[in-house]
Amino acid sequence: MNSSHQKILPGATVGVLGSGQLGRMFAIAARQMGYRVHTFSPETDTPTGQVSDVEIKASYEDLDAVKKFARAVSVVTFEFENVPSAAVEAASEYVPVRPGGAVLHITQHRLREKTFLAHHGFPVPAFRPVHRAEDLRSALKELGYPAVLKTAGFGYDGKGQTKITSPDQTETLLPNIGQQERILEVFVDFDREVSVIGARGLDGTFAHWGVIQNSHQNHILDLSVAPADVPPPVEREAIEITHGVLEQLNVVGVLCVEFFLTREGKLLINELAPRPHNSGHLTFDACITSQFEQQLRVVCGLPLGSTELLRPAAMANLLGDLWENGDPIWSAMCGFPEVKLHLYGKLSPKSGRKMGHLTALAATPQRASKRVLEARSSLKSE
């Protein structure tokens, strides 16, 4: 086992578990700083693999392959949190894994996550565990309608969620209850959704990119704008809560806290993501240090970089739906000189699949937002 406080310097090799777009942008930042990158996932020709030095294709359950991967690198990090804990343990026999397995164990399971947050006094929507049909009935009695029933494990982009609005609907859901662990949460009628991405170093230093405002379409992030349009006390509180969460979880890495801001101005934590986050993609172009470079600095034990926002910015996701009538019109989008294009190298566009994003920089968040949406509209082929 490596000493956990040794600095891992440029020229060293960093291992990434997972191979999607977050790993790709991490690998770009790492290669820019002179590191080598190995990626491990069950796929090949992946977004991360295309820009890594080595792409290993194996199952996360293949612990021998995980150990071999770990022996060839100086540190291991993640680009998605749904990696089985056995794989994390296998890797950590040889090198530091950051953030650690305990962080993943909590954040990859909605019920464990909400229980942890509530136990440590963080603001969360009211929730109840649901193991059996009777649990759902009594939970709905306590929380009332509407409520949201979610699978407890491995959810993202609204997958595994059902909004319950009436007792009739409850009856149709009951036969399937008990097949997997679930959590029932009170439905939050929020004013807006915001996120704070924080980074915490080996020495406990903390950095953040301020509050980012997010809007979703069909549960998938559509647009992120920085800085968010929230009152200063809300901004301060969101950053404080995020700092507290990173401390309590003892995170060494980057973590995003997604919040609901209620109509009364109250912040509630919706969920945590122990990695760079879609809402922070704009930091790649708009900040001195992006969330990806910061993740690299943290996992390598280096001092944190400045997170200063150089200009207000907005990011719009590009989903596979844009390809419905043929390739998007890239030349039209390139006619917007202050908009940056990021494509993830995914092999086939599918409806709802994140294929890339655009970032616009402007004098105000409103202008950046208008600009990025205009640029995205220009891509659509009639």
Give every CB contact of residue 45 below 8 A, 6+ residues apart in sequence: 55, 347
Three-class DSSP category at 70: helix
| Single-letter residue type at 7 | K
Burial-class residue 169 by CB neighbours within 10 Å (0-12, 13-18, 19+): middle
Three-class DSSP category at 45: coil
Give every CB contact of residue 280 below 8 A, 6+ residues apart in sequence: 195, 197, 209, 212, 224, 256, 290, 291
Q: Residue 153's CB: how many other CB atoms inside 10 A? A: 16
Predicted local distance difference test score (pLDDT) of residue 87: 95
Give all strands of the β-sheet with 75-78 in edge-to-edge order.
54-57, 36-41, 13-17, 75-78
Q: Take residue 276 and report the two structure tokens written for it.
A: 């760079």
Pairing of strands 13-17, 36-41: parallel
Four-residue CA torsion sign, 371, 258, 151, 20: positive
196 neighbors 261 (Cβ within 8 angstroms): no
| Single-letter residue type at 110 | R
pTM over the 0.85 mark: yes
Count the helices and strands in the chain (H runs, E runs). Answer: 12, 16
Instruction: Write out the DSSP string of 144-161.
Output: -SSEEEEESBS--TTTTE
Four-residue CA torsion sign, 162, 249, 315, 298: negative
- CA dist., res. 293 & res. 291, Å (int): 6
| Single-letter residue type at 136 | L
Tell me the pLDDT tens digit for each residue of 125-167: 999 999 988 899 999 999 999 999 999 886 666 678 899 998 8
Give every CB contact of residue 264 below 8 A, 6+ residues apart in sequence: none
One digit per residue, pLDDT tens: the chain, 382 residues?
444 578 999 999 999 999 999 999 999 999 999 999 999 999 999 999 999 999 999 999 999 999 999 999 999 999 988 899 899 999 999 999 999 999 999 999 999 999 999 999 999 999 999 998 889 999 999 999 999 999 988 666 667 889 999 888 888 887 878 778 899 999 999 999 999 999 999 999 999 999 999 999 998 999 999 999 999 999 999 999 999 999 999 999 999 999 999 999 999 999 999 999 999 999 999 999 999 999 999 999 999 999 999 999 999 999 999 999 999 999 999 999 999 999 999 999 999 999 999 999 999 999 999 999 999 999 997 6
DSSP state of 175: G
Predicted local distance difference test score (pLDDT) of residue 170: 83
Q: Take residue 353 and report the two structure tokens written for it.
A: 């699949």
- CA dist., res. 100 & res. 89, Å (int): 9
Q: Residue 236's CB: how many other CB atoms inside 10 A? A: 12
Name the H helices within 269-323: 283-286, 291-299
Backbone region of residue 226 per phi and psi (left: phi > 0; alpha: psi in -120 to 50; beta: other values): beta
Q: Take residue 207 and report the two structure tokens written for it.
A: 């950095």
Q: Output helix, strand, coil percentages for the chain, rounded to the nearest 5.
A: 35, 30, 40
Q: Residue 122's CB: how many other CB atoms inside 10 A? A: 19
Residue corresponding to tokens 């402007």:
362
| Single-letter residue type at 16 | V
Query: What separation in angstroms does the CA of 189 have from each of 42, 82, 263, 267?
Result: 39, 29, 8, 12
Q: How many angstroms separate the most distant Cα atoms in the chain?
A: 61
Predicted local distance difference test score (pLDDT) of residue 1: 41
Domains of the chain, with CATH numbers?
Answer: 13-97 (3.40.50.20), 126-186 (3.30.1490.20), 190-378 (3.30.470.20)
Q: What DSSP element (H or E) covers 117?
A: helix 110-119
